[in-house]
Every structure is written in structure tokens, then in C-alpha cells.
């Protein structure tokens, strides 16, 4: 049974360096981690299947074998489970035929019951086992009927029957979002470890013994969890697949945009995978401080609504704001660039304008994985730029003659607020979607979605993070929200960098920063928690 309590310690920039000998050559490596991570830090990749840096070490695939010199001579050890110690002597396939042959043998064990059907497998192109066996030149499987294994729910089932037909376990419906092809499973137990230790659920189990081991759900249960799609990420082969993406697009035909999920204030780092002007999936992007390698289903599946119910582009003009008080309300997905433009519009309108930000949605407790529970992604940025909370606006809504909302669906977030908001004479909605607020607006202007713009946000850890534009906007004539609002203020920002510089004038902590200064994993601002 796997050791579910041995979480690997990963090297950091401050990790102490120790000298070890790799193939009789001295190498300085991080001294507070396992051998696999230490070798990786100096550019030596070690093949592995069961190991995952953010899951407890299992050590059951044996693919990461190396030789270590000890009191009894050179012995084979697994790199994922071996701690680094000063002066240790390690031998890799570069100098040890024994290691090379051992890795080949363990790989062959996995291929005994694993079909090499890569051309029809949905994981082809991003399969760990595929990469390993192609690198080793081991392109044949020994899978035969006599090597069959037991499968889901029926101990008598073999992989292939006497007539050569698949029996059981081909498309096991684990739950509403995940399918299991059991014949491709290599029993790495990554999925089980994730559900147990990260998700905190016992929905997935290992059943059977030895070569008859298989993945199944707990009796009477389905795999139905807010993070259940993460099992398709951690699965190193094509066993666990997401129903929504299954056979939609070959992965090598996808392009990838690194950006930030704006549905939560933690700001999970994500990849937007797209092709042909369409987003096919959202994948977690590794950030050790923010979301590690995890992503909630809510953030992952939100893309399915990005190109639906969109407002068309229209001629942007400066509306007549009248002589009364104006409320400028920024929604939770507004970037710092949007906020800077709104702040500039307030200055143009003078003292009769006030700025508010936030959402009428409920704030929940953080789940400790990849969600803070706060639906206002850029709440910290709103505080930096001096925005009052939208709840204050709702208490004083009757004071205002004009309401301008930017990426804020107040009517949709709280239908009970409609009676108060409808009393405001002029309502201007600047939003990507024809939502409830746009339908109630006097003027509704379509803008680009947060996935289609470059910009920045400050998450709940006080970390400045950078968004990148995914080139899938359904209408090329649409402007970003900061462009529309700055135009209304009389000075249009042509680029996001211009708006970011303006934000630096309102928030000293941002002054002097540029996009180039923001790393892919973000930049911790003064007073951060990370």
C-alpha cells in the first residue's frame, strides 16, 4: 500500500546546496529534497510515472531507478523516495547499463497489460508512459489474453476474452465528468492519492491485488467532487479522461495562452488551450504559491460560456451623464487597467462621481486547494486604487442619477436589488455579455472578456499577476473595457501598458513596475502573505 503521508519537499531558491557525485562528476544540488527533484534542478530528467511533486510519494512504478553507492556496493534505489545527502554517489543510464536495463524491465511490466493504441488514445501527445517508452525505443507491448487482468465490478473479467474481444472496463462511467478506460490504467494510484490527500474524499479506491489491481469508486458512490477533473490531469496515461474534452481535439493541434482565472480572488494560474478561434479546455498552470497544479471544476468549465450571449461591438461615444451624481461600479473581473480607467473617468466627472467595486454574491470560506471563496477576483486591486465596496453603493443607491457598471452584473447577482437599481434614471452597462444588467440598461456596450485581454490583477495573497489575451474574441471590433472607459474619460488607452502606468499613479506600490517585471508566477507586492 502506498505511503499517503510522505509528501515530497520541493526545492526553492533558498534551498541549501550540497555536493553529490552523478556518474562520478561533482554536482551542486538542492540538499533538502528527494533525488529526483535534485537531479531535475541540474537538468537531469529522470523518467517516472507514479511520482507527482504535489502528491504523497507512492514509489510503485519503479521507473526512476538509479544506482546509489553504499556500504554494500552499488544498489538500485528509486529516486523519488531517496533523500539527498552530501557526498552521495549516484549512477544514471549514462554510465550504468544496470540502471538502463532495470528501467527497461520495469517499463516492460507496465506494457504487459497496456495497449499501445496511441493513435486512438485521447492522451496521445501528453502521455507520460508514451514519452518514456518512445525515449527508450520500447515500441511493442506484450499484451496477450493470457496476461489479462481483472476489471471493474467483476473479478472474472479478463482484458481480452478467447475471441479477442474486450470485456468490461472499457468505458467505465465514474461520475458526471470523468470516464475510465481501465485497460490503459497502470495502477500508479495518482488519482486515488489526489482524492484522498488533496480533495479529502474517499470516492476513489484501489481494489484487487497485484496484477489484478484496478481503480474503482467506493461501493454505492460516484466520483462527483468540485476537483474531480484534476484526476484527469494527474493521470499519466489515457485511463482517466474528461467527458467534455474527450475526442474533441488532438493536443498537438492546440495553442496555449498562460493567464489567470478571474472567477475567484485567489487567481488560479491557468492555460487556455485553443484552436480555430475556439477555446477547447482550461488547464491548471503550475504555481507553487497560488494553486500548485490544481484547478476547480468551476474555473475549469467556465470557458464554455465565454463565447455565448455576447454583446456586439457598437460605436463608442461619451454619453451624457447629466448634472446629478454618478456611481461608477467595477465588477469582480475588472483588471487593474480597467480600474485605472474608471478612476480616471471619476476624475473627469469631478466630485459628483464616486467609485465602487465588488459583487453582491456571497463570499464563502476558502477550500484550501485552489479557491479563496471570494468571487471578486481583483478585490485587493480595488482597495489599492481606492474603490469603496459595492455594498456601500447599494445602501446609497437612491442618491445617484446615473449608474455605470463595468463587468458588473448587479441585477443578475441579486435580483432583489432590481427594485432599488431601476429607480436610477440612467443606467450604462459596459460588459461582454447580454446579461440581466445589460438588459435593464439604458445603454449597453459590448467589450472583450477577461480571457481576451492583457492586464493585471492582485490576488488575495497580495500577489500581482499577469493576464494574457487569448486570440479567440468573436468580434475583432470589440474594445477592452479599459479602452471604452478611458475613451469616455476623454483620453483613450491604446494599450494595456498605458493603463497599467496610470494605475501606478493611483497606487504607489505599482509605480515603476512594468509587465516585464511580473514573472509568470506573479510578483509579491509589499505586505504580501506568501
One DSSP character per residue, 191-226 reads HHHIIIIIS----EEEES-GGG-EEEEPTT-----T
Cβ atoms of 48 and 64 within 8 Å: the answer is yes
Q: What is the DSSP letter of 33?
A: S
pLDDT in tens, 234-261: 999 999 999 999 999 999 999 999 999 9
Half-sphere exposure for 396 (CA within 13 Å, toward CB): 17
Cα R_g (the chain), whole angstroms: 27
Q: Strand 388-389 and strand 353-357: pairing? A: parallel
C-alpha cell at 387: 474603490
pLDDT in tens, 458-503: 999 999 999 999 999 999 999 999 999 999 999 999 999 999 999 9
pLDDT at 315: 80
pLDDT in tens, 126-160: 998 888 887 776 655 555 444 344 444 444 444 44
pLDDT at 407: 97
**DSSP three-state, residue 398:** helix
Question: Is 80 exceeded by the pLDDT of residue 382?
Answer: yes
Where helices occur in 350-443 by DSSP H, the ranges are 379-384, 390-395, 410-413, 418-421, 436-440
pLDDT at 322: 79
Percent of the chain with pLDDT over 90: 74
Cβ atoms of 204 and 231 within 8 Å: the answer is yes
Distances (CA, A) of 42 to 20, 26, 28, 119, 402: 11, 12, 8, 34, 60
Distances (CA, A) of 136 to 103, 119, 126, 164, 517: 9, 19, 16, 29, 40
pLDDT at 179: 94
pLDDT at 214: 85
Q: Average pLDDT over the chain, rounded to whole? A: 89
Question: Is 70 exceeded by the pLDDT of residue 202?
Answer: yes
For domain 116-128+137-247, the CATH architecture is: 2-Layer Sandwich (3.30)
Determine the straight-line distance between the first and last CA of the chain, rounded to whole angstroms: 35
pLDDT at 22: 95
Question: Is 90 exceeded by the pLDDT of residue 339?
Answer: yes
CA separation for the pair 335, 324 (Å, rounded): 28
Q: Report domain 17-112's class.
A: alpha beta
Mean pLDDT of 321-346: 95
Question: Is 80 exceeded by the pLDDT of residue 298?
Answer: yes
Specify the CATH number of the domain 326-524. 3.40.50.740
Cβ atoms of 452 and 472 within 8 Å: the answer is yes
Sign of CA dihedral 41, 43, 45, 46: negative
Mean pLDDT of 411-425: 92
Give every strand in the sheet of 240-242, ordered side by side: 172-173, 178-180, 240-242
Mean pLDDT of 269-298: 96
Domain residue ranges of the chain, discontinuous segments joined by +: 17-112, 116-128+137-247, 326-524
Amino acid at each position: 500500500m502506498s505511503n499517503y503521508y510522505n509528501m515530497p519537499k520541493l526545492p526553492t531558491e533558498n534551498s541549501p546546496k550540497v555536493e553529490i557525485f552523478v556518474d562520478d562528476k561533482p554536482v551542486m544540488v538542492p540538499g533538502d529534497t528527494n533525488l529526483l527533484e535534485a537531479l531535475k534542478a541540474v537538468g537531469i530528467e529522470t523518467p517516472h510515472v507514479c511520482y507527482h511533486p504535489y502528491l504523497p510519494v507512492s514509489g510503485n512504478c519503479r521507473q526512476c531507478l538509479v544506482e546509489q553507492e553504499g556500504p554494500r556496493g552499488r544498489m538500485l534505489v528509486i529516486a523519488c523516495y531517496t533523500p539527498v545527502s552530501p557526498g552521495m554517489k549516484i549512477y544514471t543510464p549514462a554510465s550504468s547499463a544496470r540502471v538502463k536495463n532495470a528501467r527497461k524491465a520495469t517499463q516492460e511490466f507496465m506494457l504487459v497489460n497496456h495497449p499501445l493504441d496511441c493513435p486512438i488514445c485521447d492522451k496521445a501527445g501528453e502521455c507520460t508512459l508514451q514519452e518514456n517508452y518512445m525515449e527508450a525505443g520500447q515500441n511493442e507491448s506484450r499484451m496477450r489474453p493470457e496476461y489479462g487482468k481483472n476489471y471493474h465490478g467483476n473479478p472474472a473479467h479478463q482484458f481480452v476474452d478467447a475471441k479477442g474481444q474486450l470485456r468490461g472496463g472499457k468505458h467505465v462511467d465514474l461520475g458526471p465528468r470523468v470516464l475510465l478506460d481501465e485497460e490503459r490504467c497502470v495502477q500508479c494510484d495518482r488519482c486515488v492519492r489526489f482524492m484522498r490527500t488533496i480533495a479529502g474524499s474517499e470516492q476513489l479506491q484501489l481494489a484487487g491485488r497485484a496484477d489484478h489491481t484496478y481503480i474503482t469508486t467506493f461501493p454505492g458512490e460516484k466520483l462527483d467532487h468540485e476537483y474531480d477533473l484534476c484526476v484527469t490531469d494527474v493521470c499519466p496515461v489515457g485511463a482517466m479522461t474528461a467527458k467534455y474534452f474527450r475526442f474533441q481535439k488532438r493536443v498537438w493541434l492546440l495553442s496555449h495562452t498562460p493567464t489567470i482565472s478571474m472567477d475567484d480572488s485567489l487567481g488560479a494560474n491557468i492555460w487556455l488551450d485553443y484552436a480555430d478561434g475556439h477555446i477547447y479546455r482550461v488547464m491548471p498552470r503550475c504555481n507553487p504559491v497560488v494553486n500548485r497544479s490544481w484547478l476547480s471544476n468551476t474555473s475549469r468549465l467556465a470557458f464554455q460560456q465565454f463565447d455565448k450571449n455576447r454583446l456586439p461591438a457598437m460605436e463608442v461615444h461619451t454619453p451624457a451623464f447629466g448634472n446629478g451624481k454618478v456611481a461608477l461600479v467595477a465588477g469582480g473581473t475588472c483588471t487593474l487597467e480597467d480600474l485605472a480607467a474608471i478612476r480616471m473617468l471619476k476624475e473627469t466627472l469631478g466630485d459628483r462621481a464616486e467609485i465602487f467595486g465588488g459583487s453582491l454574491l456571497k463570499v464563502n470560506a476558502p477550500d484550501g486547494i485552489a479557491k479563496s471563496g471570494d468571487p471578486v477576483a481583483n478585490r485587493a486591486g480595488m482597495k489599492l486604487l481606492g474603490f469603496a465596496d459595492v455594498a456601500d453603493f447599494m445602501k446609497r443607491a437612491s442618491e445617484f442619477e446615473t449608474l455605470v457598471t463595468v463587468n458588473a452584473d448587479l441585477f443578475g447577482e441579486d435580483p432583489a436589488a432590481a427594485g432599488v437599481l431601476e429607480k436610477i434614471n440612467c443606467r450604462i452597462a459596459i460588459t461582454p455579455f447580454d446579461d440581466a444588467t445589460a438588459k435593464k440598461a439604458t445603454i449597453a456596450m459590448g467589450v472583450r472578456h477577461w480571457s481576451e485581454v492583457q492586464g493585471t490583477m492582485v490576488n488575495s495573497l497580495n500577489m500581482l499577476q499577469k493576464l494574457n489575451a487569448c486570440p479567440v474574441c468573436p468580434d475583432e471590433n470589440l474594445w477592452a473595457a479599459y479602452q471604452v472607459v478611458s475613451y469616455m474619460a476623454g483620453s483613450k488607452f491604446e494599450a494595456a501598458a498605458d493603463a497599467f502606468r496610470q494605475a501606478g499613479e493611483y497606487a504607489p506600490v505599482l509605480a515603476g513596475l512594468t509587465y516585464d517585471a511580473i514573472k509568470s508566477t506573479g510578483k509579491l507586492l509589499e505586505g504580501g502573505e506568501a
